[in-house]
Amino acid sequence: MPKLIFLPHDDICPEGAVIDVASGISICDAALQHGIDIEHACEKSCACTTCHVYIREGFDTLDEATDLEEDYLDKAWGVDPDSRLSCQAKVGVADLVIELPKYTINMVSEHH
């Protein structure tokens, strides 16, 4: 079983987390099942950017992002080459190291 290694995040998982998951599950679903409360405002339908994560290790083992996911990633706050929408990125057979962004686009707009 692949492991998802979540790096520490001040609010969501201060200690970080390591979870074993089945291949084929989305990163968002796996996180939610293990008490890691990734925001998912569009109910995981690839219609927002609130579940944006960084795949710091294992990125190349994921299926390529769809054009729709790429379009939304273009709108995400703080996007970088390791960015994916966690509702769309399905776990493969390799371990992944995941960093949760400090902010989502919702948090940025709520604070301004």
pLDDT greater at residue 111 or residue 9: 9
3-state secondary structure the chain: CCEEEECCECCCECCCEEEECCCCCEHHHHHHHCCCCCCCCCCCCCCCCCCEEEEEECHHHCCCCCHHHHHHHCCCCCCCCCEEECCCCECCCCCEEEECCCCCHHHHHHCC
Asked if the model's pLDDT at residue 27 lies above 70, the reply is yes
Domain 3-110 in CATH 3.10.20.30? The answer is yes
pTM attached to this predicted model: 0.92
Q: Is 98 exposed, middle or buried (0-12, 13-18, 19+ CB in 10 A)?
A: buried
The domain limits of the chain are 3-110
Taking residues 5-14, report their average pLDDT. 95
Asked if the model's pLDDT at residue 107 lies above 80, the reply is no
Per-residue pLDDT tens over the stretch 59-74: 999 999 999 999 999 9
Asked if the model's pLDDT at residue 112 lies above 80, the reply is no
